[in-house]
């Protein structure tokens, strides 16, 4: 049995290694992010309003759809690497042989994703808001609350993608992940609209969307930064996100045992 | 008279087509569920129904213009899925090594592009039929010219298959994510996924002019011409012509790079 200090030192060594790898990839990831942000700002900030989209939706859509899509893309790339490794390279076996408890390994994988993603996305989100300027709309919320919800959102995506990479086979993941998991998650959530605007048109569907975890994440981001009564209350979002996180953690735990611990 | 060599080449070409059909038919159920049902139904709900009501206040004409381009994602994902198997093969199994022993590399590429375009076209057939059934009250589909819609759909499948095959002969597996973000995402979103060319031209004439170099634009403009119609979109003949010319260019380049990659002599 390792002492806490020994675990910390191994954990620290792993994180240092990841930061080193990230430093080499950072350039590419930031270019990819800049492209996504610029294209999104152009389409949602300027072109869709020309076709008649209400400008008051620009800010909520940027936070809800564009940011979440960016996080999902990064998460998908992370999960693809993991799924590929589980099928072919099996570098995971090196991690399993480390004198580190499995719970620490989970925390390591999650922290690695959260650190990488926040380093890349936070500056890009700020850049996107600056680019949108007045079109983004008034910011009546609190940055501290936004950062807290943002952390929960990152944790959700980390748990979701890590869990998916352990739950699904390589072939299934490659063929069906976007079509059967990510696309329904986005399309059946208020990513492109606000929940309030959906409620006005199809109240039943809006209620059903409350079963989708992305609803709480997206509305939580909007509610925390933009403020006002147009979004789900922050308390409801926090409760929804917490329940989702617990479900995702259980899924990850079972997936991990199913994939790597046949005993 | 057809020479014996040509007959043999043709028969091998047909055998490879049959082989591809056999391989992909085994995954057919998944593809039909994903690309012929899941994507269309979700997009109809989100982009035809909700988007028309919330963004455009129920204007069915604008709804139809915007919804038309959304078939790009399943179509591009499908062609990518089929054409990029060549890249995975080149980096791992090298089934291609066997194929080039019995058939000219150029014909292998042509066969794979042809198969990918036909398969994608078949999977995409229900997309607009489902929209007609489920979304005719929220997007205006009264003026659809079905024959020209399916002609442009096939030409688009062919052109995008050739384009993806070209990418598969040039890229490495590690660069796939980058390829989607830096190339496909831009081509797709600025190629008329939501926004028609005339809106982009009115926003920035320079950007509108530059987008004429984007092959996807001809596909979406052709689709909008077949579904909505009107002088604001590019003429159908121009779209079909451009897609066929681009297919030839992409195929020629794919043949060149494929030969260069597999033949060291």
Residue corresponding to tokens 């606000």: A194
Average pLDDT, chain B: 92
Nearest to A70 by CA among A97, A41, A98: A41
The pLDDT, as a whole number, for residue B205 is: 95
**For the whole model, what pTM was predicted?**
0.91
Among B40, B55, B186, B220, the residue to mutate for chain A (most A Cβ within 10 A): B55
Q: How confident is the model at residue B1 (pLDDT cuts 50, 70, 90)?
A: low
List the beta strands (DSSP E) in B3-146: none
Chain B residues touching residue A192 (CB < 8 angstroms): 46, 50-51
* Domain hosting residue B251, numbered range: 4-262
> With an 8 Å Cβ cutoff, is A176 touching chain B?
yes
Which is more confident, A98 or A244? Answer: A244
Report the C-alpha gap between A17 and A14 in whole angstroms: 5
Average pLDDT over residues B39-60: 94
Q: What 8-state DSSP symbol labels residue B92?
A: T
Comparing CB atoms, the residue among B54, B65, B203 nearest residue A46 is B203
**ipTM of this complex:** 0.91
Other beta carbons within 10 Å of B136:
15
Average pLDDT over residues A65-87: 89
Q: CB–CB of A31 and B56 under 8 A?
A: no
Tally the domains of chain B.
1
Query: Is A194 strand, coil or helix?
Result: coil
Report the C-alpha gap between A221 and A153 in whole angstroms: 8
Q: Note which residues in 41-70 of chain A have CB less than 8 A from chain B.
A: 42-43, 46-48, 50-54, 57
Span B73-105, pLDDT tens digits:
999 999 998 998 877 777 776 788 888 888 888
Comparing CB atoms, the residue among B42, B178, B189 nearest residue A184 is B42
Cβ–Cβ under 8 Å, residues A226 and A149: no
Nearest to A183 by CA among A205, A221, A214, A219: A214
Among B73, B195, B220, the residue to mutate for chain A (most A Cβ within 10 A): B195
Cβ–Cβ under 8 Å, residues B160 and B85: no
List the beta strands (DSSP E) in A84-217: none
């Amino acid at each position: 049995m390792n002492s806490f200090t020994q675990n910390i030192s191994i954990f620290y060594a792993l994180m240092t290694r990841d930061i080193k790898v990230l430093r080499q990839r950072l350039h590419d990831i930031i270019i990819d992010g800049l492209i996504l942000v610029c294209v999104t700002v152009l389409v949602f900030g300027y072109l869709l309003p020309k076709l008649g989209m209400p400008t008051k939706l620009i800010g909520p859509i940027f936070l809800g759809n564009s940011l979440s899509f960016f996080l999902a893309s990064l998460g998908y790339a992370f999960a693809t690497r993991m799924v590929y490794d589980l099928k072919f390279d099996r570098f995971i076996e090196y991690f399993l042989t480390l004198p580190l408890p499995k719970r620490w390994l989970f925390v390591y994988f999650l922290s690695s994703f959260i650190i990488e993603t926040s380093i890349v996305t936070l500056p890009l989100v700020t850049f996107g808001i600056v680019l949108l300027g007045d079109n983004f709309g008034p910011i009546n919320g609190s940055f501290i609350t936004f950062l807290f919800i943002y952390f929960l959102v990152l944790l959700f995506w980390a748990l979701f993608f890590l869990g998916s990479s352990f739950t699904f086979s390589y072939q299934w993941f490659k063929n069906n992940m976007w079509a059967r998991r990510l696309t329904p998650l986005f399309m059946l959530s208020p990513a492109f609209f606000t929940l309030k605007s959906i409620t006005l048109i199809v109240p039943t569907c809006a209620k059903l969307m409350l079963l989708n975890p992305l609803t709480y994440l997206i509305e939580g981001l909007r509610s925390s930064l933009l403020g006002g009564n147009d979004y789900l209350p922050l308390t409801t979002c926090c409760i929804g996100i917490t329940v989702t996180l617990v479900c995702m953690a259980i899924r990850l735990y079972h997936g991990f045992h199913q994939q790597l611990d046949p005993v | 008279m057809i020479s014996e060599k040509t007959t043999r080449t043709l028969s091998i070409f047909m055998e490879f087509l049959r082989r591809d059909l056999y391989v992909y038919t085994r995954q057919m159920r998944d593809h039909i569920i994903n690309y012929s049902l899941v994507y269309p139904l979700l997009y109809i709900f989100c982009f035809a129904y909700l988007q028309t009501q919330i963004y455009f206040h129920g204007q069915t004409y604008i709804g139809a213009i915007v919804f038309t381009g959304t078939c790009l994602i399943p179509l591009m994902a499908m062609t990518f899925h089929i054409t990029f198997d060549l890249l995975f093969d080149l980096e791992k199994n090298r089934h291609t090594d066997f194929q080039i022993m019995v058939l000219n590399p150029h014909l292998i590429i042509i066969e794979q592009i042809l198969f990918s375009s036909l398969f994608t076209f078949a999977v995409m057939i229900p997309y607009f039929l489902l929209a007609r059934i489920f979304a005719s009250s929220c997007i205006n589909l009264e003026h659809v010219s079905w024959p020209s819609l399916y002609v442009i759909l096939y030409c688009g499948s062919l052109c995008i298959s050739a384009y993806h095959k070209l990418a598969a002969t040039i890229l490495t597996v590690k660069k796939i994510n980058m390829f989607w973000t830096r190339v496909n995402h831009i081509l797709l979103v600025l190629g008329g996924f939501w926004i028609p060319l005339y809106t982009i031209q009115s926003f920035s004439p320079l950007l509108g002019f530059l987008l004429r170099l984007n092959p996807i634009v001809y596909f979406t403009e052709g689709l909008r011409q077949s579904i909505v119609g009107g002088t604001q979109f590019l003429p159908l003949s121009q779209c079909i012509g451009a897609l066929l010319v681009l297919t030839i260019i992409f195929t020629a380049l794919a043949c060149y790079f494929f030969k260069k990659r597999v033949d060291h002599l």
